[in-house]
Chains A and B, each alone.
Chain A
């Protein structure tokens, strides 16, 4: 049987985007599926990307437009793989496309439907730090620029009320209340899985007080606080809206339990220190680290530049975060490099929880018939970190393990090379 030349890419973060663009450029038909209602992955949550502090949106948006405009690429949001059969060169893949309730064809993204919606709910993209309506766009500028209705919360969903507020507001007849989940079947020759990562929920590490003290933030929360299009329009503030005078950045949260270094946190915490010093005059910033992992060109320089601006870096053990008095203030107790007990009072703490596989990686692994490694990331061959044990299925990006964006890009490009090569006659 002739090989199928089409390529399926699962996950539309930086890795999935890059792999799709290269495959399509080679003239192949690409199916790019993304479980969320928007695409772009974790990178679009950042305001800036270290060490060069470039604007993340400016980096991703042109690539995202290329995806949307490319006739060879079919982006399917709110979609997941449900079944895979066949073999390298001839896979049959079933995909479920969840109902969006808004037409991707008719909607022009004017946003007129948000205001009249009576339901207010937490915005997940903003780490629940702001509210959205049941018909929503993940954030300003999210792509595709078409909202989705969350039927869990929409009054028409569980409550079965006859709300038509958004439909009435929409002048383009873009709302489809009877939209249905749709199962489709496609045939492809190769598959690239690029399902990325999430941050561990550090509540289990009680000593850091995450979930207990409101001013202990995790890294994504802090990114969104600094984001121009985020809940505070880029103003770093504690939960009660106050400007923090001091911030403690905690490295390696959960690393010892987990068993690996998450690669990116030393640098992004340094980036956070830069954010803070940049926009909060007089702020005191402390970095509490165990080991400093700042490989890659440019990183050491960036670290030292930021440090020189007045960051206090402390090698610390036995970190514990407690409440400081009656207010919202926090106290960080720790043991310093000289094994002395010390503490500092801060207004805000930011944690760097370990990077773990995106939820559902295990199920997807089963469907794809590929193994997972010790830590639940997709397992790849030694000295060939894009190949799985199953011919025709490749991995790219943080789905293979935590890494900086440059390595996400190279893996995606390398995975595309493999996929293109094995589907060549």
Chain B
């Protein structure tokens, strides 16, 4: 089963750094797993834990948030809030019986196209190993 399991991974990317890094990965023709679909936000701090929980409830196998390196946020301090907000997520995930490894927070700058490719590949592989999100298709949670 693990062999043909194609996870569905959501990536939230901040406009100024990580989204630019993803573009650079593309224009440098570096491979990024097709199992990752990205959503652009202005700042990583726009990602609300509620979005993430609902992503898992909707069946996301993995969620990645990527933003500017600490100190580099285009809006001064946004990513510090992001970091703080998601430090607590692990606990919540455990209560849902979700492996915290299904969540990843990374800082990827605009010139790090290669790193974007590496981080996403590694994350996707990891999710493939973890298998499908156990909450998927569990209607009682809806």
Tell whether any CB of A sits under 8 Å from a CB of B in the complex: yes
The answer to whether residues A58 and B27 also contact, given A141-B113, A228-B112 and a CB cut-off of 8 A, is: no
Cα separation A253 to B96 with both chains bound (whole Å)? 61
Instruction: Output the nearest chain A residue to B28 by Cβ-Cβ distance.
Output: A140
Instruction: Output the nearest chain A residue to B20 by Cβ-Cβ distance.
Output: A61
20 contacts across the A-B interface (CB closer than 8 A): A53-B71, A55-B68, A55-B69, A55-B72, A57-B109, A57-B110, A57-B111, A58-B68, A58-B72, A58-B109, A61-B20, A61-B110, A62-B74, A111-B29, A141-B110, A227-B111, A228-B115, A229-B24, A229-B111, A233-B114
Cα separation A140 to B110 with both chains bound (whole Å)? 11
Does A228 lie within 8 Å of B114, measured CB to CB? yes
The answer to whether residues A141 and B27 also contact, given A54-B69, A55-B72 and a CB cut-off of 8 A, is: yes
A36 in the interface (beta carbon within 8 A): no
Within 8 A of B (CB), among A132-163: 140-141, 145
**Shortest Cβ distance from residue B117 to the other chain A in the assembled complex, whole angstroms:** 10
Q: Which residues of chain A are within 8 angstroms of B56 by Cβ–Cβ distance?
A: none
Q: Which residues of chain B are within 8 angstroms of A52 by Cβ–Cβ distance?
A: 71
B123 in the interface (beta carbon within 8 A): no
B16 in the interface (beta carbon within 8 A): yes
Within 8 A of B (CB), among A104-121: 109, 111
Is chain A's interface secondary structure helix, strand, loop, or mixed overall?
loop
Does B110 lie within 8 Å of A58, measured CB to CB? yes
**Shortest Cβ distance from residue A252 to the other chain B in the assembled complex, whole angstroms:** 29
Within 8 A of A (CB), among B10-55: 16-17, 20, 24, 27-29
Cα separation A145 to B110 with both chains bound (whole Å)? 15
In the complex, besides A57-B109, A229-B111, 7 extra interface pairs with C-beta distance below 8 angstroms are A52-B71, A54-B71, A58-B20, A140-B27, A140-B28, A227-B111, A228-B111
**Shortest Cβ distance from residue B23 to the other chain A in the assembled complex, whole angstroms:** 9
Does A62 lie within 8 Å of B113, measured CB to CB? no
Interface string of B72-108 (1 = CB under 8 A from A): 1010000000000000000000000000000000000
Interface string of A12-52 (1 = CB under 8 A from B): 00000000000000000000000000000000000100001
Q: Which residues of chain B are within 8 angstroms of A140 by Cβ–Cβ distance?
A: 24, 27-28, 113
Does A58 lie within 8 Å of B71, measured CB to CB? no
Residues of A with Cβ closer than 8 Å to B?
Answer: 47, 52-58, 61-62, 109, 111, 140-141, 145, 227-229, 233-234
Instruction: Output the nearest chain B residue to A49 by Cβ-Cβ distance.
Output: B72
Q: Which residues of chain A are within 8 angstroms of B69 by Cβ–Cβ distance?
A: 54-55
Cα separation A412 to B96 with both chains bound (whole Å)? 55
Cα separation A173 to B16 with both chains bound (whole Å)? 32
Instruction: Output the nearest chain B residue to A65 by Cβ-Cβ distance.
Output: B20
Q: Which residues of chain B are within 8 angstroms of A47 by Cβ–Cβ distance?
A: 111
Chain B CB within 10 A, most for which of A57, A58, A145: A58
Does B74 lie within 8 Å of A55, measured CB to CB? no
Instruction: Output the nearest chain B residue to A54 by Cβ-Cβ distance.
Output: B72
A141 contact from B17, B71, B111, Cβ within 8 A: B111
**Shortest Cβ distance from residue B48 to the other chain A in the assembled complex, whole angstroms:** 24
Cα separation A52 to B71 with both chains bound (whole Å)? 8
Does A58 lie within 8 Å of B114, measured CB to CB? no
Cα separation A228 to B109 with both chains bound (whole Å)? 10
Q: Give the 4 A-B CB pairs with smallest separation, nearest first.
A: A55-B109, A57-B111, A58-B110, A57-B110
Cα separation A390 to B90 with both chains bound (whole Å)? 65
Cα separation A65 to B17 with both chains bound (whole Å)? 14
The answer to whether residues A111 and B27 also contact, given A52-B71, A55-B17, A62-B16 and a CB cut-off of 8 A, is: yes
Q: Which residues of chain A are within 8 angstroms of B71 by Cβ–Cβ distance?
A: 52-54
Does B111 lie within 8 Å of A55, measured CB to CB? yes
Chain B CB within 10 A, most for which of A111, A145, A233: A233
Instruction: Output the nearest chain A residue to B18 by Cβ-Cβ distance.
Output: A58
A228 contact from B27, B29, B72, B113, Cβ within 8 A: B113
